[in-house]
Structure 1
Amino acid sequence: MQTNIFVDKKERTGKPHELFGIWMATQIGILGLIYGAIIVSYELSFIQSILAAFVGALSFILVGYLSLSGKIGGTTMFNLSRAVFGVHGNYIPTLCGWINLVGWMCVNVVTATLTLLTLLGILGINTNTFTTIIALIILAILIAISGFLSQESLVKLQSFFTYIFGLMTLIVLGFLLLKTNWDLLFALPSGNWISGFLPAVSIIIAGTGISWAIAAADYSVYQDPKNSDFAIILSTTLAGFIPLFILMSMGILMTSTVPDFLSVPNPIDVIGSQLPTWMTIPYLITALVGLVAPSVISLRSARVNLSTLNIKVNNFTAISIHVIIMLTLGIYVLFISDSFLSIFQSFLGLIGIALAGWSAVFLTDFVLFRKKFGYPEKLLTGENNFNLYNYTGIFSWFLGVFLGFLFTNCVFFDGPFANGIFYNNSLGMLITFISSGIFYIILSKIFNSEAI
């Protein structure tokens, strides 16, 4: 069994403020504007939309809290997940996590490609199929090169671009506030809190708190074990919440001047059209770099997941595999699929169910056992065939995911109970999260699960 899974103590010297720069870089991308428009598409009032953005962004507290597991356990997220599911039982959740990270890389590289095409159009350069493919390849290679950065270099680079893009975002927000049709916004009728508000919140949670929870320990593992738990939670949570809430609010404001924001082929074009040219160019350049940052985070965690799955490849091979996947899926989304945003929402909904179950089981186990007893090495390494399968975690995850899919429908899948308030939304994800946690509590009592 794999035994060298722990980060060397000499490398564990990080400070909580370093987590702020890393995690803020993942959330400050231009996708936050699209999230805001998605919220409004659920036919909510302006106040309801802002509240949905607030609650959805606050879900990043899940990433903040689970970051403590990295500090306590001294290894990455899906290595720690072995304690909950067993060394072999952890393979399927890890595979789901890998799919999610690869999916996010593709979402970001596609968005970055659309951003670059918009930028080229503003500069008077004609864009076509050839230029689109070249742009996609260049961005995929840029992400791959960034994947070789050390942890220290990554922290410095992402912190630098985070603050630049943050400043540009605040300036853009000022322009949008001046152009906002406030009468139209406040005239929006209130939507249904159950069939409108909850699904809007759940789709944001799926793409933010739950999607990034699977990488929480991958960066907190470099924290000094003596660091304050509260400081780690606060730094990580605010790093996600602040940019997410501001950007989603901007997306909500933008729908007042461009009601068909979600239906246009390239939503990035709409963002550029709302700003003066002198501001659009530097903003899109900064946004472009900002989209690379979360892709690098996803790439690094995806490579770790391959190792956790016992897929033995060197760093160059692992990065090459992910680049090929990025290019393949990117070409499909850009040239074959009818709508980037419909694919995006369907992806979040389906993978969000699997990850919601994993997050709930991992969180419940952490609260019940790991925060007090830690992560004994034999739980994570499978030494002497110990803890190969933790059936309490496996069945809790499976039952929760099964229930969630029964209440879910999208372009890929139709659950038998995805009717009424469950039709065409991601409430199934919330069902999975709640039920998986409850199943774990019940089964751990029935089978007298121990901390070690």
Structure 2
Amino acid sequence: MSTTPSTETTTVDATLETRGIEPVPEAERTGHPMQLFWVWFAANISILGLPLGVTLVAVQGMTVWQAAIVAVLGSVGSFAVVGVVSIAGRRGGAPGLTLSRAVFGVRGNAGPTAVSLLSRLGWETVNTTTAAFALLSLCAIVFGTDAAAKSSPVLTILCITVFVVLTVIVSGLGHAVLLTVQKWSTWIFGALNIVVGVSLVSTVDWQAVAAAEPAAAGVVVAGIGVIAAGTGIGWANASADMSRYQAPGVRAGQLVLSAAAGAGIPLVLLISLGGLLAAGDPSLGDAGDPVAAIRAILPGWMAVPYLIAAFGGLLLSNHLSVYSAGLTLLTLGVRTKRVYAVVVDVAVTFAGAIYFMLIADGFYGPFIAFISLLAVPITAWVGVFLVDMARRRHYDGRALMDLRSSSRYWYSGGFEPRALTAWLVAIAGGYLFTTAGAGDDVWFRGPFAGTWAGENGLGWVITFVAAGGIYALLGGAKKTEVTR
């Protein structure tokens, strides 16, 4: 029987994970939900939560209290979905996009996998760029160098390199090392974030906070979509990558809670804090370098711990993203070992960071547009995958790795037409209501973006409902376990 193009062995030791995308043997699935709690917590204590809160208040016009409600519903709710999808990893013992072969077919799965890889690469570019900005600012304080990226191209490339190397060390070593680093780093950088957060709270203009007028209900609904798309939705198809090592006896509710609470706690705090800052200084919403803009609010003595916390939080997020991206690259059929797939991934994000720092004129406009565009196909995948999960309790490990026509998941020419039809139609429907970008920097605007649903950011909801509903109506959820 043929397998995916991977030359990896199937063992895991204490320092280097040599397994690729093949299912984890049941005897090696000894993980517990608390491990995932730390993984999701660490991945979401980065500074990127602050600009999301700034966007809600300074750009969308919400009050701080509305922004806090949006943060809870958007981040906790979307990561609850991440937890639900991770149940599939516990059942099948394989990465999420590998399990997706059972739903879309061994060839049809290439579309969702490519979208997932693009999402991971985009987020990693955002992480790398923001972290390099933080390191540039730190160098300016310690060594007196120029903090402007375009004025110091050599130093900028060096800062990007430092972040990339630190990412590869952990992500390349793999699962066991990742779990340990994420857990203990959470305490270190979490404590730094608390210190910085307390200092930032002291700068808040509480009169401006109290005087703010609440935004319309539709704006709040739209904000929930922005936060969901910018937090949990982007992680949903990577959630099984870590849960595949969970013990078979772990309860589904524990997996959901570990993701929702692990990510929700830091995100709600950071997004709410970003909203507080923006209430007194709306200009933060227009900052080209949010790291420097927020640092400028702090007293001089707090700048160093702030920048270290920012850098560390982004690094923890990137560890998990690059690890998943490596597995996604293997699922696409790249013939290499997992650790080399990680190196290929960071090489792409290295180039992306150079572009945004040394060539492009803006950063957060493309960031918001990127979130909006990729949220649609990823949400469509989630809709189909969750409906499939409702009826599927078993994944055939051998069939997942068999790319020939003899595979149980070959279906029709390697494609599962019901799943692919539902996915593609839902994507088309979602984009009809989607606007990517803001203000004068709009990349894409669907023909129905001006309707109530479009203006309130509900394109992703329409996508989710359409994908799951069409797949169920076509009978995919009832026929996925038919043997050949």
Q: In which range does the TM-score fall when normalised by the shorter chain?
A: over 0.9
Q: List aligned pairs for 1:32-431, cutoff 5 A.
A: 32-40=49-57, 41-58=59-76, 59-123=78-142, 124-127=144-147, 128-194=152-218, 196-315=219-338, 317-367=340-390, 369-370=391-392, 373-377=393-397, 380-382=400-402, 384-388=406-410, 389-410=415-436, 411-421=442-452, 426-431=457-462
CA contact (8 A) 1:39 1:53 kept: no
Structure 1 gaps of 5+ residues are none
- The residue aligned with 1:451 is 481
Number of residue-to-residue matches in the alignment = 447
CA contact (8 A) 2:74 2:224 kept: yes
Q: Which amino acid aligns with 1:26?
A: A
RMSD: 2.0
- The residue aligned with 2:18 is none
Matched residue SS, 2:208 = helix
Give the C-alpha shift of residue 162 in structure 1: 0.9
CA contact (8 A) 2:330 2:338 kept: no
* C-alpha distance after superposition, 1:93-143 (max 9, x if no partner): 011001101111111001101111222223333232332222112222222
CA contact (8 A) 1:12 1:222 kept: yes
Distance 1:385 1:65, change over 3 A: closer
Give the C-alpha shift of residue 28 in structure 1: 0.7
Matched residue SS, 2:84 = helix
Distance 1:174 1:268, change over 3 A: same
Structure 2 gaps of 5+ residues are 5-20, 437-441
CA contact (8 A) 1:68 1:232 kept: yes
Distance 1:392 1:183 in 2: 56
52-61 vs 417-426, which moves further: 417-426
Give the C-alpha shift of residue 364 in structure 1: 1.3
Give the C-alpha shift of residue 249 in structure 1: 0.7
386-395 vs 14-23, which moves further: 386-395
- The residue aligned with 1:17 is 34
Matched residue SS, 1:186 = helix
Give the C-alpha shift of residue 450 in structure 1: 4.2
CA contact (8 A) 1:77 1:218 kept: yes
Q: Which amino acid aligns with 2:379?
A: A
Distance 1:9 1:255 in 2: 49
Give the C-alpha shift of residue 243 in structure 1: 0.5
CA contact (8 A) 2:388 2:480 kept: no
Give the C-alpha shift of residue 82 in structure 1: 1.1
Give the C-alpha shift of residue 251 in structure 1: 0.4
Give the C-alpha shift of residue 422 in structure 1: 5.6
CA contact (8 A) 2:205 2:279 kept: yes
Distance 1:425 1:140 in 2: 37
CA contact (8 A) 1:38 1:200 kept: no
CA contact (8 A) 1:408 1:422 kept: no
Distance 2:126 2:378 in 1: 17
- The residue aligned with 2:470 is 439
Matched residue SS, 1:412 = strand
Aligned identity (percent) is 33
* C-alpha distance after superposition, 1:290-330 (max 9, x if no partner): 21122121111111111111111234542332222112211
Distance 2:451 2:252 in 1: 42
Distance 2:222 2:174 in 1: 39
Q: Which amino acid aligns with 1:451?
A: E
Give the C-alpha shift of residue 12 in structure 1: 1.3
Indicate yes or no: 2:45 matched with 1:28: yes
CA contact (8 A) 2:33 2:255 kept: yes
Distance 1:364 1:66 in 2: 11
Give the C-alpha shift of residue 169 in structure 1: 2.1
TM-score by length of 2: 0.87
CA contact (8 A) 1:349 1:426 kept: no
TM-score by length of 1: 0.93
CA contact (8 A) 1:85 1:393 kept: yes
* C-alpha distance after superposition, 1:389-444 (max 9, x if no partner): 22111111111000011122333323222224466774322221121111112111
Matched residue SS, 1:299 = helix
Name the one with the larger helix percent: 1
